[in-house]
């Protein structure tokens, strides 16, 4: 009788042990996300130098590295909706990679010219990917546009220029709403020409002396708002010139109301 009872008891203990282990697994709770839905740095799909500083969310919609262009100057931040800190100012027509979207904001990664070889990430509003909507100008009076320089690119890294566009940005362009004489002042330099809501053409010309050479610098701003093109060229017009090399430069100019 004792042997038979022992044989019955052993399987029963094994079954109870299995149930005990299974019960522990069933009762184990998963760690809940933070109260605001953020998950900190647990998302590692973004190849960015600052990814540990960028907020991520459990309810964000993944975009799987879609490419796109930022169409207006925008701030990239570590958190959406003007939250967090500013990572960088994104110039108009900058190519970026989209990683996620949440409540009208998109997480992007991008290059920064000041940090070659490193990509950064940040949240921008979805409106950053849309061209500005043009509104009809007044039929009379004076109109104005804010001109902001970005992406200044010299023909050589060693070039130095007699220009105030970079230091004087942004500037205000004034012109008759119906079109006519237009002017904009960047720092100490005034650009003049013609302008209307659909076309801008401005020029600034100045002369300077360098190493015995007299150099004329011509700067132009032309195009259709909201995207204009800046071009600078140098021409030797006199003097005794030796080993003087002239330069050129280009830049983007956004023209917004």
Convert the pLDDT of each residue in 153-168 to its tens digit: 999 988 888 899 999 9
Domain range holding 97? 51-129
Residue 16 within a domain: no
Grouping H, G, I as helix, E, B as strand and the rest as coil, residue 21 is: helix
pLDDT of residue 11: 53
Assess whether 150 and 104 both reside in one domain: no
Number of domains in the chain: 2
Grouping H, G, I as helix, E, B as strand and the rest as coil, residue 22 is: helix
Tens-digit pLDDT profile for residues 30-44: 444 444 555 544 455
pLDDT confidence of 131, banded at 50, 70, 90?
A: confident
pLDDT of residue 134: 59
For residue 156, what is the DSSP state? S
For the residues 42-62, what does the mean pLDDT come to? 86
> Which range has the top average pLDDT, 22-26, 69-73, 166-170?
166-170
Q: What is the model's pTM? A: 0.51
Assess whether 71 and 99 both reside in one domain: yes
Assess whether 146 and 248 both reside in one domain: yes
Grouping H, G, I as helix, E, B as strand and the rest as coil, residue 146 is: strand
Assess whether 163 and 246 both reside in one domain: yes
pLDDT confidence of 212, banded at 50, 70, 90?
A: confident
Residue 239 · residue 212 · CB < 8 Å: yes
CA–CA distance, 192 with 66 (Å, rounded to integer): 42
Of 228, 126, 141, 231, give the one whose Cα is nearest residue 180: 141
Residue 5 within a domain: no
Supply 186's token pair.
């960047």
Residue 21 within a domain: no
> Residue 212 contacts by C-beta under 8 Å, 6 or more apart in sequence?
239, 240, 241, 242
Residue 6 within a domain: no
Q: End of a domain among 104, 129, 154?
A: 129
Q: Is the model's pLDDT at 18 over the cut of 70?
A: no
Residue 25 within a domain: no
Assess whether 246 and 153 both reside in one domain: yes
Q: Is the model's pLDDT at 28 over the cut of 90?
A: no
Q: End of a domain among 129, 162, 189?
A: 129
Residue 174 · residue 142 · CB < 8 Å: yes
Q: Is the model's pLDDT at 21 over the cut of 90?
A: no
Assess whether 149 and 246 both reside in one domain: yes
Stated length of the chain:
257
Tens-digit pLDDT profile for residues 236-249: 888 777 778 889 99
pLDDT of residue 84: 84
Assess whether 102 and 152 both reside in one domain: no
């Amino acid at each position: 009788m004792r042997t038979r009872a022992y044989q019955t008891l052993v399987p029963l203990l094994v079954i109870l042990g299995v149930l005990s282990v299974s019960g522990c697994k069933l009762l184990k709770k998963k760690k809940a996300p933070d109260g605001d839905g953020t998950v900190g740095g647990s998302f590692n799909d973004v190849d960015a130098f600052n990814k540990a500083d960028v907020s991520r969310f459990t309810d964000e919609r993944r975009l799987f590295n879609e490419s796109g262009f930022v169409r207006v100057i925008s701030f990239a931040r570590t958190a959406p909706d003007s939250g967090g800190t500013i990572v960088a100012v994104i110039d108009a027509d900058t190519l970026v990679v989209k990683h996620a979207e949440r409540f009208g904001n998109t997480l992007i990664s991008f290059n920064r010219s000041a940090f070659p070889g490193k990509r950064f990430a940040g949240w921008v509003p979805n409106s950053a990917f849309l061209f500005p909507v043009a509104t009809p100008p007044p039929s009379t009076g004076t109109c104005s546009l804010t001109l902001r320089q970005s992406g200044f690119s010299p023909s050589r890294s060693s070039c130095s220029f007699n220009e105030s566009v970079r230091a004087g940005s942004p500037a205000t362009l004034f012109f008759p709403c119906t079109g006519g004489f237009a002017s904009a002042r960047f720092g100490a330099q005034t650009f003049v020409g013609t302008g209307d809501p659909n076309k801008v053409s401005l020029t600034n010309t100045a002369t300077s002396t360098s190493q015995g050479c007299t150099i004329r610098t011509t700067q132009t701003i032309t195009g259709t708002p909201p995207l204009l093109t800046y071009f600078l060229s140098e021409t030797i017009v006199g003097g005794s010139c030796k080993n003087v090399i002239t330069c050129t430069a280009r830049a983007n100019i956004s023209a917004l109301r």
